[in-house]
Amino acid sequence: MSKRFIVSAESTPKLPRHAKLRFDKARDKWIILAPERVFELDHVAYEVISRCDGGRSVEQVIDSLCEKFDQVGREVIMTDVTNMLQDLADKGFVVT
Amino acid sequence: MSDVIEQGTKASATVPVADRVVPYALLAELTHRCPLQCPYCSNPLELERSSNEIQTEDWLRVIDQAAEMGILHIHFSGGEPTVRKDLEVLVEHAGRVGLYSNLITSAVLLTRDRLERLRDMGLDHVQVSFQGTTPDIADRVAGFAGHKKKLQAARWVRELDMPLTVNAVMHRQNLHQLPDMIDMAVALDAERLEVAQVQYYGWALRNRAAFLPTREQLDEATGQVEEARSQHKGVLVIDYVVPDYYARRPKSCMGGWGRQFLNITPSGKVLPCHAAESIAGLQFDSVKDKPLAWIWEESASFNLYRGTGWMPEPCRSCDRREIDWGGCRCQAFALTGDAANTDPACELSPHRDVLEMPLKESNAAAPDFIYRRIGA
Ligand code: SF4
Ligand code: SF4
């Protein structure tokens, strides 16, 4: 990491090399593994993170979430996703 | 080592599955052999000789059992884990069963080729320890001229595109180098800087007066860390804990005894914490005799201080009892002679006054080091 990643609609977030997304059988949830840290994902966080493959932009991630959760307003989803990704980026769990 | 469990949900920090507590991390101390002689080393005073080390097959079996139990992280440590020739085999196996592998190393024995091999075997992360930012201080603390080699090895880690943590044990003799240490970590392109404090048991307890910083030093350091954290936000993660002796409440040691973490010694003994052997009178089961899951769930040593049932007052009725779990058992033993006492790092401890003498020593001249040696 050499400079802070600021999440925008065009950025294409993904997990950094040192972080791994996997399903944890023993605890029955999705987790991100990173050095000295385990980030347990709730249902919503998993839906977001699993779409961040480095190819899709934040905009496209939001589109896809809007399709799946069509009862929730786009504004709400956009705010939630951006905040969550920025928070994860600052903790080193998401890069561009 | 400070495993942090972060959640995207509001669930409690450890997740009981059908009334069981599932551990998160395993510290595999492959050997006590190490070319360095750090006077704060967390290894026991009685170092294990190489002839007592368990074999490759034992470690492979343990790694399988760990994954089966739901353990997520394996830290290969020591001593110096790269002394073991089977490190590659163990790393590869850990990856195969889905464990996240971390190498905790002094780096002085590493070659670029070996690092590359380890990476290709699936090593996920490397943590290099530094004893200072300049050879004069770092090499004196380590009792070994290795600082330059460490820098070299840390650069290889990044060249090979592996994530790097700089681990810096800071104390009264090098705390003035903290700003340089932060710059060094940034320059090395580390993901994470762990500013570790000396924990006072074993070797470090013997050397306490040479290590414990003064209150003024510490306050200055805390300010520097806060500033650096905002300056390097999103670039460098800085983990920093205030040394226990200056804390008002203890930290949650190992996330609670027998709740998140287990440690296996070079000879195969399973401990709830890497320093647990410093508590006199405890017996620990070995992976040579019993499955890891049995030791975790059933063994006397793991159940002794697990949960809150063993707690005396003031912990028993304290609303922090499931937050800090009464602090550190090893420290309670080292300072009060009874591991079942409240950790004196808590201001509410009736033994708090045991900290007066060491805190006074921190303002006097520092004595010479007693270096870590086999048979010292
Ligand atoms: S603390 Fe120092 S002496 Fe102890 S194992 Fe680590 S590098 Fe070796
Ligand atoms: S009294 Fe015990 S539980 Fe309460 S804060 Fe102190 S150490 Fe923690």
Measured distance CA(B110)–CA(B91) in Å, rounded: 15
B212: amino acid identity, one letter: L
What's the confidence (pLDDT) of residue B198?
Answer: 86
What's the confidence (pLDDT) of residue B257?
Answer: 94
Say which residues have a Cβ less than 8 Å from residue A71's Cβ, sequence separation at least 6.
none
Residue A24 lies in a domain: yes
Q: Of B70, B69, B87, B68, whose CA–CA distance to B28 is shortest?
A: B87
Residue linked to tokens 């790393």: B91
Residue A5 lies in a domain: no
Residue A9 lies in a domain: no
* Structural tokens at position B197: 């404090």
Query: Which of residues B289 and A96 earns the better pLDDT score?
Result: B289
3-state secondary structure of B323: coil
What's the confidence (pLDDT) of residue B375?
Answer: 60
What's the confidence (pLDDT) of residue B20?
Answer: 63
Interface check for B249 against chain A (CB to CB < 8 A): the answer is no
Counting ligand 2 atoms within 8 A of each CB, the residue from B305, B325, B342 with the most, and so the one to mutate, is B342
Output DSSP code: residue B54: P
Instruction: Tell me: ipTM over 0.90.
Output: no
* A71 Cα to chain B: minimum distance (Å): 22
Measured distance CA(B47)–CA(B287) in Å, rounded: 19
Measured distance CA(B270)–CA(B92) in Å, rounded: 22
Check pLDDT > 80 for residue A92: no
Residue A34 lies in a domain: yes
What's the confidence (pLDDT) of residue A2?
Answer: 56
User: For residue B336, is it left (φ>0), alpha (ψ between -120 and 50) or beta?
Assistant: alpha
Beta carbons of A45 and B163 less than 8 Å apart: no
Beta carbons of B72 and A90 less than 8 Å apart: no
pLDDT per residue as tens, chain B (376 positions): 334 444 333 333 344 444 568 899 999 999 999 888 888 888 888 888 889 999 999 999 999 999 999 999 999 999 999 999 999 999 999 999 999 999 999 999 999 999 999 999 999 999 999 999 999 888 888 888 889 999 999 999 999 999 999 999 999 889 999 999 999 999 999 989 999 888 888 788 888 888 888 888 889 999 999 999 999 987 888 998 877 888 888 988 888 999 999 999 999 999 999 889 989 899 999 999 999 999 999 999 999 999 999 999 999 999 999 999 999 999 999 899 999 999 998 999 999 888 887 777 777 777 777 777 766 5
Say which residues have a Cβ less than 8 Å from residue B305's Cβ, sequence separation at least 6.
B257, B258, B272, B329, B339, B340
Residue A10 lies in a domain: no
Residue A78 lies in a domain: yes
Residue A95 lies in a domain: no
Query: Which of residues A43 and B290 earns the better pLDDT score?
Result: B290
Mutation for testing the A interface, residue in B2, B9, B68 having most A CBs under 10 Å: B9
- Is residue B194 within a helix (H) or strand (E), and if so which, with residue range? strand B192-197
Specify the CATH number for the domain of residue A71.
Answer: 1.10.10.1150
Sign of the alpha-carbon dihedral angle for B251, B257, B261, B267: positive
Residues B331 and B344 sit within 8 Å (Cβ to Cβ): yes
In chain B, residues 213-232 whose CB comes closer than 8 Å to chain A: none
3-state secondary structure of B113: helix
State which ligand 2 atom lies nearest to the alpha carbon of B325. Answer: 3
3-state secondary structure of A82: helix
Domain count, chain A: 1
What's the confidence (pLDDT) of residue B295?
Answer: 97
Measured distance CA(B44)–CA(B275) in Å, rounded: 7
Helices (DSSP H) in chain B: which residue ranges?
A: 56-69, 87-96, 112-120, 135-142, 147-159, 178-187, 202-206, 208-211, 215-231, 292-298, 300-304, 329-336, 356-361
Range of the domain at A83: 20-90
What's the confidence (pLDDT) of residue B243?
Answer: 79
Q: Of B145, B138, B150, B141, whose CA–CA distance to B106 is shortest?
A: B150
What's the confidence (pLDDT) of residue B18?
Answer: 41
How do B20-21 and B16-17 pair as beta strands? antiparallel
What's the confidence (pLDDT) of residue B8?
Answer: 38
Residue A29 lies in a domain: yes
The C-alpha angle B58, B61, B66, rounded to 5 degrees, equals 120
User: For residue B53, is it left (φ>0), alpha (ψ between -120 and 50) or beta?
Assistant: beta
